[in-house]
Chains A and B, each alone.
Chain A
Amino acid sequence: MNEQLHRDAMLENVALYALGVLPREDVALVVAFIANDAAARKEYDDLRAAADSLAHVADEPVDSARSARMRERLMVQVRADAADAQAPFAGRRRANAVYPAWLWGTGLAAAAAVIFSFVTVVQDVALRGDLASAQRRSSTLQSQLAQAERIGTHDRQALTDLVSPGAKRYDVAGGAVVVRGDRVYLTLTKLASLPKGRVYQAWTQPKGATAMVPSVTFNPNADGVAVIALPVDAGRLAAVALSVEPEGGSKAPTTKPTFVRPLT
């Protein structure tokens, strides 16, 4: 009964993850559950499809002036980038240009011919000011996001791998070794908490080798969950193992391994 209640609670969390409302601290537990349970993966796929479809609701008309302004901002940068790629030695000048040459040319021609009205010129200047301001805002935003992206990329890759239907799963006690491409993870959900001074240590056995190579040490969270990316090329591995070791890790296992899992 308790097992079923726990499972129902976890499936509700799978729905939260599919919708994108799960807090970061709960993700490891839910991803490990999805990674280790075929029915949960099916549920996740179904609910994620429903959740993803919600994006269509946001596909609404954008004010035409705003749409044109955004397009202009974007294409200025894209055309400059494309031109830089074709003429790398002229790159610096182009990279610093806020507006394409044709825009300046248009302004000069208009001034020379005295065709445009004063109002038009004022609007043109205002537009350039808006563009420059938008360009500065965009630059600041991009530097802020670059920091977040560096942190997030690794996590996003791991999460993607773990819930992927195409990942290979090798069951172990309380979890699985998950392999996708050249990446390998441990997803463990029932690890006992360890006394102070002791840690779990992962071990990897390269193909053709007889000895285990020490890998990362870790402690599970309060729920006994650990989702660990092993820093090794999965294609070169014959087996993965886990043991309990002194803090700081060991060069060779000093206790009987919790598991030794051949990747076959």
Chain B
Amino acid sequence: MDPGVRLMERIRTRDTTAFEALYDGYHRLVFGIGLRMLGDPTMAEDLTQTVFLKIWTTPDAFRGGSFVAWVSRVTRNRALDVLRSRAVRPEAEIPADLPLEGALDDDVFRRLDAQRVRDALALLPPEQRGLIELGFFGGVTHQELARRTDTPLGTVKTRIRSGLRRMRETLGDRVSR
């Protein structure tokens, strides 16, 4: 079982030790996503604080599955909220939120690590890899991706789909249910 899942069970009983362990285990991930999406360490720090406080105050929001996938999506959606609330860029350039409940089970992310994912990314052609990374961490829409990379919209769509499919194949059953 994902250690985060076990810790969340204890956090529901207001166990501060479990919460500290959760922070120690996952703050790098939360801060890292925040930093990449917001581009500012201070904002990423505040975002990390907000995400973990939310976990502490409403632990029931996590309804099982992969804790890593869930907290990543919570962080991503929170970062989008920050971008919206601060009007850092036009609303039209900010994509829709992601659903928090996943189809993934908690085994999926346990079998993955950063190096494996980086390796899978490295196998993609640069033009696919760049769009996928910028799309995931940039907090921008595909139209904005097309504009920033000076690539036709249809090409952006095709490259993203092809790239994700290839990643899926490379990671194989590590991301299978």
Contact = CB atoms under 8 A, between A and B. Distances in A.
Nearest to B26: A59
A134 interface: yes
B104 to A, nearest CB: 6
Interface of A: 9, 11-13, 15-24, 26-27, 45-62, 66-67, 69-71, 73-75, 77-79, 81-82, 85, 134, 137-138, 141-142, 144-145, 147-149, 152, 155-156, 159-160, 163-165
A53 B171 contact: yes
A145 B171 contact: no
15 contacts: A15-B161, A16-B161, A19-B132, A20-B136, A23-B92, A23-B142, A46-B175, A51-B136, A54-B121, A58-B36, A60-B114, A142-B50, A156-B99, A159-B97, A160-B99
B46 A164 contact: no
A101 to B, nearest CB: 15
A71 B36 contact: no
A160 B69 CA distance: 14
Contact of B85 (A48, A134, A148): A148
B57 interface: yes
Interface in B1-46: 14, 16, 19-20, 23-24, 27-29, 31-33, 35-36, 41-42, 45-46
B56 A81 contact: yes
A45 B108 CA distance: 12
B98 A78 contact: no
